[in-house]
Amino acid sequence: MNLYKSFKNTSKLVGTNQFLMICNQKFGTKSIEHSNKAVNEAEKIVGYPTSFLSLRWLLNDEVANVALHLKKLIGTKHPLLNTARELILNKESPSWGLIVLLTSKAGGLSSKFSQVDCDINAGILHSQRVLAEITEMVRTSNIIHKSILNINKNDEFSEDLHFGNKLTLLTGDYLLSNSFRELAGLKSHRVNELVSTSLRDLSEADFIEPRDSQNKPLPAPPLSQKHEISVPNHFEKDVLTISEVLGNAKAEWTLRHLLGGASLLGKCCQAALMLADHSKDLEESGYIFGRNLALALQIRKDISSFKPGESGPFSLISAPLMFHIQDNLEFYDTLMEHVKQDNIKYGQIRSLILSGNGIEKSLELKQEFVICGLEALNKFQESKAKNALINILETV
């Protein structure tokens, strides 16, 4: 909370440009170092680097065959190549599997579980470790599926691009089907149902319009008169008027990314606590923590596209851009015209956002998620795992 207040006060005192320089220092190299240190310490608590969680799935004959075929896509600009590279380099930190394992360990185990069910060294159930792997693979399959292209007959390398789409679809489906086979092996109807609803959420996220020709999400037209509306933690239990959400930068961004991934992490954290037969109150806290951590991480990723020296494309539903549109309604029509012409001037847009309030408002929203996540962790007993989760959240 003190960091959040100091950022607001600093912005008022030194002006936007200097504020952005300070933000870059706060969220630049040192911030990355602190975040990596928090993740490394957390991995020691669960027993091993969680980058190994996906190796059992990725280093097998089926996926190895896909890797052999990837070379056919070199030079075609099919997005599957870039997606595969980013997954192998494991740029996303912390991994969601690590968060699920830490949440499991923070919840603790009762004496009712035998040593056969537990990983004695890590202090978690074998089923919770499997769930962490499932979380990683469902997320990975969703990322891979997003690499599918809409192809024109006149496109160069159209046959190779179609082949790339087949690889994308089959690889994503393979990981997803194996994830739910493993999920069924946990033999918990409640956990199965809960994780399945997160798959529903991922699907619903792909049907929120508007969309471009490649089905990538675009921001909705900004509302000239917006009401203060917040997306609740369990939004499916409350009725949301979609016409009041779309066009409202904060609410629209939250809903899109809650459905698009945050609910998966939240529900898998909740499911991990279910497997250990914790109280519904603690399960709820696990969900709220995971949900808000995922949203905070997404905003950090959005903001990173606007650091000095960054170039190239970025998401058109990133938080800084959506807040900029809300403050500059006339800019929306200009942006949509560029999208229609397939001539998006990312450099100019980046400069406009850096001269406005989009970054500052994004930081404020991120801090809201951090505070909400920390409040949820208060329900857990003191432990090294809980402290590790706090450190990860505070270094986002």
- Model confidence pLDDT, tens digit, residues 84-94: 888 777 666 78
Q: What is the C-alpha to C-alpha distance for residues 334 and 316, in angstroms, rounded to an integer?
A: 13
Asked if pLDDT for residue 8 goes beyond 80, the answer is no
Q: What is the pLDDT of residues 165-192, one digit of tens each?
A: 999 999 999 999 999 999 999 999 999 9
Q: What is the C-alpha to C-alpha distance for residues 373 and 376, in angstroms, rounded to an integer?
A: 5
* pLDDT at position 24: 47
If 0-12 CB within 10 Å is exposed, 13-18 middle and 19+ buried, where does residue 169 land?
middle
All residues at 6 or more sequence positions from 111 whose CB lies less than 8 Å from its CB, including other chains: none
Give the chain's mean pLDDT.
85
Give the rounded percent of residues in the chain with a pLDDT score beyond 90. 59
Q: What is the pLDDT of residues 271-293, one digit of tens each?
A: 999 999 999 999 999 999 999 99
Asked if pLDDT for residue 388 goes beyond 70, the answer is yes
Q: For residue 291, which of 260, 252, 250 has the smallest C-alpha distance?
A: 260
Task: Please provide the CATH number assigned to the domain covering 2-394.
Answer: 1.10.600.10
In three-state secondary structure terms, 105 is helix
All residues at 6 or more sequence positions from 359 whose CB lies less than 8 Å from its CB, including other chains: 20, 23, 303, 306, 320, 353
Asked if pLDDT for residue 7 goes beyond 50, the answer is no
Q: What is the C-alpha to C-alpha distance for residues 182 and 195, in angstroms, rounded to an integer?
A: 12
Q: How confident is the model at residue 53 (pLDDT cuts 50, 70, 90)?
A: low
